[in-house]
Amino acid sequence: MFDKKKYSDLLIVGDFNHPKIKLNSKFGFVEGKENSMVRNNSIAFLETIQSNFLTQHLHLPIFGENVLDIIFTEDSSRTNTIENGPHLSTPKKNKLHSVLTWDYHLECNIVRKTENRPAIEKGKYSKLNQHFEKSIKIIKEATSDIEEQCKLLMESYKIGHLN
């Protein structure tokens, strides 16, 4: 959905016309069982939000039953206060969307989980392959016991892996 290498933060705000989506405290769900384009689009919308690990901050429709005023972020700690203000129009029959206000913390001490991964693209594979070819030849000549060969190969791997 967005390139994490380019952007570290994400805020999605908008009016989404999904009459089949009902919101609850954590996720939304799609009503009905019929196979319609409207229902399928609503399912695809929710799957996109969930598969990108976005946090939903507003859990009720602000404008009628079919439009979701939604605020999503990539990190729940960035937004903590959302207020539902006055309507944008005053006539009772033509009440439009409510004014929503929120705080979005651009700079905060967020601890991001990182994982160490090997830099596979930096591997010296031809050198490692040569090491294994030599080792296998020596191991085959040294013993015919498969258990011993496996043990020697693992030792060879540790040596070759460190070089």
Tell me which H or E stretch contains 15.
strand 11-17
Give the three-class secondary structure for 135.
Answer: helix
Rounded CA separation 117/94 (Å): 56
pTM attached to this predicted model = 0.47
Residue 83's pLDDT band (boundaries 50, 70, 90)? Answer: confident
Question: Mean pLDDT, to the nearest integer, of 152-160?
Answer: 80
Residue 102 has pLDDT above 70, yes or no: yes
Residue 76 has pLDDT above 80, yes or no: no
**What was the pLDDT predicted at 64?**
56
**What was the pLDDT predicted at 61?**
56
Instruction: Report H helices in the chain.
Output: 37-51, 125-142, 146-162
Residue 68 has pLDDT above 70, yes or no: no
Question: What is the average pLDDT value for the chain, to the nearest integer?
Answer: 73
Question: Mean pLDDT, to the nearest integer, of 59-74?
Answer: 61
**What was the pLDDT predicted at 108?**
54
For residue range 2-59, what is the model confidence (pLDDT) as tens digits? Answer: 555 566 677 777 777 777 777 665 666 677 777 788 888 888 888 887 787 777 776 6
Give the three-class secondary structure for 96.
Answer: coil
Closest CA to 16 of 42, 55, 34: 42
**What was the pLDDT predicted at 104?**
77
Rounded CA separation 87/97 (Å): 6
Residue 132 has pLDDT above 70, yes or no: yes
Residue by residue, DSSP assigns 65-95 as TTEEEEEEES-GGGEEEEEEEEES--SGGG-
Q: Is 156 left (phi over 0), alpha (psi -120 to 50) or beta?
A: alpha
Residue 159's pLDDT band (boundaries 50, 70, 90)? Answer: confident
